[in-house]
Structure 1
């Protein structure tokens, strides 16, 4: 049922596009309201702090600073919410891509009656979910016709998997190279550079980050996802394009190898209907 799975994934990604639009609209409205209220009191905080300092009333100054921090907490909460929503959406998109790739490997294994792979990867005792290995096996089974690792989306998918593997376990920080961040953000603007990782074997335990980053292309960086949700639009579009490319290649491969529509859609063994 590989084509069925691809159609399902395509439908889910299109649904997520509408969800993303709604998230962005609500997020932008919340920030607009905050900015308007912030502008109305920002100068007041400055004037009150200056007056307290001039009168050397440090107790009052402390209370004003405390009040200001509480007021700006709303902005911090909004940014945290945005980052969290980016994490959730990224994990969801990667899960859909991953399931589609693994399911395609399973379907080709069944269609081509490759009993060794069926036993090794898809027996009841095995919970196979390695999309990288699945992509390699798809390339092998189709004799290079469907080499997913040659698709332009694949390098983005590798980065998405790196991020997913970290944030899905509750850690907002992940480590990747500066060059990789720049390449990824040029297509999907979601990664926020935090600090350059100190690679010195003698001092990295004392100072894990460099005080003066080099921005060298090979330098490694601690990163997190941005709070801006607009990169999700790019993520969704790139994932949908990948699904369409894989789907088209799969249909073309099936037809060129004499497979019927039922075999392509329902994942029946190639020779089962011809005996």
Structure 2
């Protein structure tokens, strides 16, 4: 198993990409901590992991409060004795067009994506170093690689995560800590994608979804399990020569 005896803390693992990643990492031998604000779905993810013979627990965590991120890291180490993988996956659709974006909406998307990633990495770092190395992974976005017309705040927050990953990769390679990012395209049947479709009142959801399918060389949207496999690839110790990577998993959308 690729993550045998490893401990992974995943934010936003109640649903979507985070849930799929938690299930897959557990199947590969990792013990999972799920940091999320969505208790019912997070507990369902824990139950599903345990039904398959894995180990997981839920720690309620409002990622807009940095003290709660520190608590989640500490609780993970208290329960499992170490930390090998910090995967900051949690995200929100973000506000829409510039004219529709309030200061509160801007703060929310920056806090959950970039600030939580920054401080999550900060709090995870000593434990990863103590474990002899490990992985930090961020869920960024194809819209961190190229601009979004529909949500400039979202693009800015995800682009910030990519530069954070690169900066940390350079600084902490000497500690045996690899830092990477996955850059998903639109992922069907996730709460975030539903939020994207709903965020701009002047965009017709069906036509926007169809446009996203057609602009990709692979004429479809992604699914969470595909993102989970990319995440596993980047955090697996077998791939120890990979750091500072922003990996598009978007059906070719970054090229279109």
User: Which bin holds the TM-score, normalised by the shorter protein?
Assistant: under 0.3
Instruction: Tell me the TM-score normalised to structure 1 length.
Output: 0.24
Instruction: Tell me the TM-score normalised to structure 2 length.
Output: 0.25
**Structure with more relative contact order (C-alpha pairs < 8 Å, separation 6 or more):** 1
Instruction: Give 1 or 2: higher helix fraction.
Output: 1
Instruction: Give 1 or 2: higher strand fraction.
Output: 2
The structure with more radius of gyration: 1
